[in-house]
C-alpha cells in the first residue's frame, strides 16, 4: 500500500470524529497487520469496500464497550447503549461512510478516483470470516476518551491507476 493513501484517511477520521463526537482522536503508532490476525481485539468492525483506481477495504474495529460508547456519542444519547439496536448500527455505519467518503475525496484529488460501497457492521463471531478474505493492512490506532478503535487500510493501486499514470 502506498504511503500517499494514509494521509487522506488520517485527515478525514480526525475531522469526522471531532465533528460527530466532539473529540479529535489521538493517533497511535501505525503498524502492519498480516491477514492471519486482522482483528484480534475487536468485537465490532465496520467494513467499507473501495473500488476504482484504489481497491480494497477500510475497516474500523473496536471492542464492544468502545462501540457502544461511540454510538451513544454519535446519537447524543445520555446513557450508553446496553445492546445494539438498529439506530446504533446505523450510527456506526454512517460514521464509517463519512470517514471513508472524505478520504476518497482526498484520494481523488491526488489522482486516484474511487468509489465506496455501503458500510457493513459486523460482530463476533462473523468477524472471524473476514480472516479468510483479509489482505495485509496498515493499522492506525485511534485513542478517544471513551475508548479505542483501529482504522485498518488494505488498499492497493489498481491497473486503472497504473494505466492512467503511463
What's the pLDDT tens digit per position in 111-140? 999 999 999 998 876 666 665 456 788 999
Q: Is 100 exposed, middle or buried (0-12, 13-18, 19+ CB in 10 A)?
A: buried
- Rounded distance between C-alpha atoms, residue 48 and residue 99, angstroms: 10
Q: Is the pTM of this model over 0.85?
A: yes
Grid cell, residue 16, equals: 469526522
User: Does the structure show a pLDDT above 90 at 98?
Assistant: yes
pLDDT value at position 85? Answer: 82
Sign of the Cα pseudo-torsion (63, 68, 69, 71, in order): positive
User: Does the structure show a pLDDT above 80 at 148?
Assistant: yes
Going along the chain from its start, the domains and CATH numbers come out as 3-165 (3.40.1550.10)
pLDDT value at position 137? Answer: 87
Amino acid at each position: 500500500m502506498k504511503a500517499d493513501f494514509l494521509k487522506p484517511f488520517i485527515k478525514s477520521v480526525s475531522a469526522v470524529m471531532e465533528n460527530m463526537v466532539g473529540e479529535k482522536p489521538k493517533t497511535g503508532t501505525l503498524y502492519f497487520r498480516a491477514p492471519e490476525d486482522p482483528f484480534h481485539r475487536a468485537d465490532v468492525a465496520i467494513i467499507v469496500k473501495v473500488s476504482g483506481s484504489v481497491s480494497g477495504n477500510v475497516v474500523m474495529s473496536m471492542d464492544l464497550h468502545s462501540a457502544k460508547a461511540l454510538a451513544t456519542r454519535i446519537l447524543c444519547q445520555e446513557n450508553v447503549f446496553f445492546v445494539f439496536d438498529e439506530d446504533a448500527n446505523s450510527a456506526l455505519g454512517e460514521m464509517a461512510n463519512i470517514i471513508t467518503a472524505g478520504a476518497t475525496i482526498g484520494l481523488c484529488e491526488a489522482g486516484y478516483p474511487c468509489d465506496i460501497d455501503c458500510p457493513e457492521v459486523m460482530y463476533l463471531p462473523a468477524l472471524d470470516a473476514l480472516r479468510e478474505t483479509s489482505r495485509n493492512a496498515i493499522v492506525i490506532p485511534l485513542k478517544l476518551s471513551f475508548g479505542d478503535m483501529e482504522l485498518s487500510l488494505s488498499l492497493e493501486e489498481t491497473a486503472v491507476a497504473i494505466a492512467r499514470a503511463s
